[in-house]
């Protein structure tokens, strides 16, 4: 498995017992206009007691120009270019102002549009690829609040890696206030079903095993918890995620003490247009965008896990943003 690394010195789960409906303020803000109005101010403050927020979203790699807009989008009078969608992604991030952001299907062209918008608010990529290379699963962090200790990038092995978009990135951070360390792993697993390509299920299982192995090295080295997330292209009943569950990883929605969001988080948004339509169950098991915690030392409290279903996000990508507010003890 190819590895690129930079070192900076300086059993299915059960339904959660506590799941609350979103409060009135959250509902009022549900359709907030993120196209530049948030201005880097917390529109959604952290849950009381939390000292870490991590946001995760697949940003849909469609790099076409306005002249290449799919007919369905033209007919709807909509624009899905990176120029337009990057403003929406920047708005989501600057409304929530997380310490860490994990993205999937990131591309060089999306980077050119989105990254300058985030740099204005103090965000920085953990890993800059060599010229001609792209990190499709980047981790971005708020450098005023967290310190990057170590980062690495691992493309998943062929043939289960279309267009080099399937990979995982690891990063070890330290909160500048309090000094708590934590590991973040961001990935995009292989996407095809076993029916469409033989070996796909076992490929995803091996990819998860590779991720857990690398995460464990970092956890032992730094004696800290692991947050593992991304577009996993399989649900909690799959063999691949069964590996994570058996290893002791817990879904954020299951262990959240204030609010655990069970919605599936995946909807139609592709060359054929966009809509709220989704074909997955809203019971925690329909999700392919998972947010796991591995915390054998019991130093993590997940306060809330939320999927942002704001109306404007529907035409940004087929994955609603999700985030967790966490207390590192």
pLDDT given at position 240: 94
C-alpha radius of gyration, the chain, whole number: 18
Predicted local confidence at residue 6, as pLDDT: 47
Using the 8-state DSSP alphabet, how is residue 313 labeled?
G
Domain count, the chain: 1
- Residue 186 belongs to domain spanning: 4-328
Q: How many CB atoms lie within 10 A of CB 207?
A: 27
Whole-angstrom Cα distance, residue 74 to residue 304? Answer: 38
pLDDT of residue 17: 38
pLDDT in tens, the chain (329 residues): 555 554 443 334 443 433 344 454 555 455 565 444 555 667 788 999 999 999 999 999 999 999 999 999 999 999 999 999 999 999 899 889 999 999 999 999 999 999 999 999 999 999 877 777 789 999 999 999 999 999 999 999 999 998 878 999 999 999 999 999 999 999 999 888 888 898 899 999 999 999 999 999 999 999 999 999 999 999 999 999 999 999 999 999 999 999 999 999 999 999 999 999 887 888 888 899 999 999 999 999 999 999 988 888 999 999 999 999 999 99
pLDDT of the residue at 16:
40
pTM of the model: 0.90
Place of tokens 């792209």: 134
Q: What pLDDT score was predicted for residue 2?
A: 52
Q: Please, are residues 205 and 240 in contact by the beta-carbon 8 Å criterion?
A: yes
DSSP-based helix, strand, coil % in the chain, nearest 5: 25, 25, 50
- What pLDDT does residue 311 have? 85
pLDDT of 286 reads 86
pLDDT value of residue 207: 97
**Residue-level pLDDT at 305:** 96
pLDDT at position 210, please?
97
Read off the CATH number of the domain in which 171 is found: 3.60.10.10
Please give the C-alpha separations between residue 252 and each of 227, 304, 316, in angstroms, as whole numbers.
9, 8, 24
Beta bridge partners of 131: none
* Res 281: pLDDT: 85
């Amino acid at each position: 498995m190819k590895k690129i690394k930079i070192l900076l010195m300086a059993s299915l789960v059960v339904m959660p017992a506590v799941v609350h409906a979103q409060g009135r303020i959250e509902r009022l803000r549900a359709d907030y206009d993120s196209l530049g109005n948030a201005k880097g101010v917390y529109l959604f403050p952290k849950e009381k007691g939390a000292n870490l927020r991590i946001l995760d979203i697949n940003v849909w790699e469609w790099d076409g120009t306005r002249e290449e807009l799919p007919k369905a989008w033209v007919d709807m009078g909509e624009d899905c270019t990176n120029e337009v969608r990057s403003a929406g992604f920047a708005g989501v991030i600057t409304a929530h102002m997380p310490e860490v952001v994990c993205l999937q299907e990131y591309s060089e062209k999306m980077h050119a549009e989105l990254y300058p918008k985030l740099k204005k608010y103090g965000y920085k990529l953990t890993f800059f690829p060599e010229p001609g290379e792209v990190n499709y699963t980047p981790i971005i962090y708020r450098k005023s609040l967290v310190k990057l200790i170590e980062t690495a990038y691992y493309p998943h092995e062929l043939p289960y890696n279309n267009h080099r978009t399937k990979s995982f990135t690891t990063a070890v951070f330290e909160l500048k206030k309090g000094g708590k360390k934590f590991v973040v792993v961001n990935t995009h697993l292989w996407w095809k079903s076993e029916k469409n390509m033989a070996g796909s299920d076992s490929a995803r299982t091996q990819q998860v095993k590779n991720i857990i192995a690398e995460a464990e090295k970092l956890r032992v080295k730094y004696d800290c918890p692991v947050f593992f997330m991304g577009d996993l292209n399989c649900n909690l009943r799959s063999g691949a995620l069964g590996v994570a569950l058996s290893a002791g990883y817990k879904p954020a929605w299951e262990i959240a003490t204030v609010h655990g969001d069970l919605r599936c988080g995946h909807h139609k948004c592709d060359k054929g247009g966009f809509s709220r339509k989704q074909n997955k169950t809203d019971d925690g098991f329909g999700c392919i965008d998972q947010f796991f915690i591995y915390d054998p030392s019991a130093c993590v409290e997940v306060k809330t896990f939320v999927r942002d279903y704001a109306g404007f996000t529907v035409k940004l990508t087929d994955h609603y943003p999700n985030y967790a507010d966490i207390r590192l003890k």
